[in-house]
Structure 1
Amino acid sequence: MYKQVKIEHKRVFELLEKMRDQCLLKGVGGLKSLAVVFRRMDTDFSKCLCYQEFEEGLKLYGVQFDKSDLRMLFDSFDRDRNKRIDFLELIAKLRPPMSKLRTDVINEAFDLLDANKDGVLKLEDLKIVYSTNARRHPKFVSGEWTEEQVLRNFLDSIDTPGNPDGKVTREEFMNYYAGVSSTVDDDSYFDLMMRACYGLPNRGS
């Protein structure tokens, strides 16, 4: 019995790795794209999916598993056996592994941008803390975009693709930068990159 559980646990890990690789092949926004597919399946806004919705979502995204693997993956997340899974928990599991240094600096950047401290980034937040950066944008300098258009474009680039609502949660922010993180090998370089991008103080200063 114990041996069988161990084998199944290993297989679930392999399936998650396969899904993660499929997401990363779609670029830094791949994880967000999968989240969008699942959100569209979640017609009652419960943040949960039944098996059929889960299966259809993965097919729509382009990930193919055989029936036994798909069932095993679903059951591994259906811990209370209510035939539904929390897809946000699944997305969190699919994030490429990141060191504490990386997650800390991503959270630090989010906290800086979240001027209203309500856990959601909105245009109003960015107008308070990011307007100087917006005025340096080439399209603002050329007069093609207003400051508000620059800030909205920034939000939309991190927001749910195909369905931006002008709000970015910490989860969406973390998912986006988990994709970026997967393209950067060195922890220290990723940390410096984030600090330079958002004007965060250097560590120890």
Structure 2
Amino acid sequence: MNSKSIYRVLLCFFHSEFCLLSSVNNHHLLLLASVMAGTSRHDKEMAMDAKRRLSECSDPVERLRLQCLARGSSGIKGLGRTFKIMDDDNSRSLDLKEFLKGLNDYGILMEKQEAMALFQQFDRDGSGTIDFDEFLITLRVTKEEFVNYYCGVSASVDSDVYFILMMKNAWKL
């Protein structure tokens, strides 16, 4: 990776951290791995890596993230959209029953015990429900995943001007 790519990625990362914090407060879903459409090759590599790591992983939250990433760059974003669909009683939060049904409807393969442990990890305030903020914060992509994603995007763009235009459009700057 050249210094230009590193610079581009760092700019995106610092801006995205600001956007993520803003989005939590405004109840908007901004999941960094799915902000822009990835190149198909990069998407396939990410999905293959997620599937490989899934067999080695035991943490319920990480397993959920990996199952979403195995669907490609829009996997986590899709699960975020599914949050509203899971919320059967329109309470803007999920109880255990809604959560288990939603995981099943979204096609997340998980034992009931593992799903219950996952629910407890999402329920940071111990209220017995998961609100959207808890859901969003728990599913954040890691810094490494973010950097890897934008390195792939940056490598596929020849012009700095075009890359800046893409970032402005993606982040609505």
**TM-score normalised by length of structure 2:** 0.50
Q: TM-score, normalised by structure 1?
A: 0.43
